[in-house]
Chains A and B, each alone.
Chain A
């Protein structure tokens, strides 16, 4: 009783706090908590979005997802995209950041601004522009390669299964490169300059400085950068949707376009929202597990190295 009263009093005392928090709590509950829970619930139903949600089918949607070769193809493609984008993008952006971090290099702000530009532009629009630049006829890339006689006939870059994914990966690297450049620059700038000065006095070469100062001190931020890059690229949708729609013959189909097809597109007939939700949950859990395992491995590697250095 006593406790209740004091709780009531406390709540009354904090009424302004609750009032300020109320809009956020209400909207957060409606548009974040509810959709996440509901998407899990829907995945156990057979549902087309028009009838009431009453056809409970247990785990059957998940079994259908796990046994659909189309899903695994999209799953594989998502990982191909990620493995194509992340290592190249992160290493190139780190190299660029090291050069641009040099305070003596005049104009580095201009380079930084231009390299970041693709990040701020609408992926859907940029993807369409890129589809034209890589177009078969009159596309800039083909014109350039024909003019320099590197190819004899125009190549249908986005229309053939062999090249379409490589092109999407290239555009993907270009589009989000700027994020990682800025992240690396932020990381490099957090390293105190005196460390390099001291190393120079001791006669360390620039390679040694990179190996023994830059690498270990960048590690904590590198883990975050790598995780963000992996998660972002595993959820690619806009670029693939506008450039190839997952084609040709599903050669570039990723999980996000695969799910979209079952939920919203008419090409698969009646919407299968339960199935689409199950695929979303399944993929979400899988990618989270990968992130956890990767995070643990990197932490481990860090610790081993620390032990070794001691």
Chain B
């Protein structure tokens, strides 16, 4: 599979007050053409920040402190804002967690769609209007013509997310970043939205980076998965490998905390403790404090991300040791 996007050793730092923290550390991965890559992890593990660094939308107090981002053999992280704007929306589009908060309350849907289309496609006003109607119909919005003239407060969350998807797909991006696109929606709507995204993605051969903490969605929609913990990648594998034989104790714990219908459980297992703050990162493995399998070495030295095979990487001393033995 051709890789269309590559991250090489990307680090992101942020400044809070007068303190600087590294919030994403040495993240490398690639996305193939038409592939869906899942990024999972607890809140605050750096998933969203990593995604925002790709599309050049880091918050004003954060910046890329190392690494390269390569889109179609072109380094984009050092581009000037003016050049980056031609990529934003056109080559990389993004949809966000809260669809209702994604639309500007004072503009109509057509105005907000047109803003995106005008930025990247050379169309006349009437062409933009017709295209907008097509787009809304494609994402399953009834009465598309009328909805175009409505304001965001007149729409439901599911409708808003459909519109955001229509907007994101309007310029046929090569990469769609979906940051927890269904977290804020009803369970019944979630499946519809995910199916819609899947259809559009297949139709346009778009690559998707799907950020989520819902392992069910990962199982259904992704080909490969990256598990992040405290700003680092701890495991990278195909979906089959992750679900059948998770290597990292953190991934194992994540999978165990999914409720199962075929097992009666008194209480749902959860991972004790919380993600270490970037203010006080442990010097050893970042998960050691919460890890049931941790031993001395884990607290002293941070493990590298080691390749188990071509498609499998894990950051854990357990596998370093077994590698040495074998």
Tell me whether A and B are bound partners: no
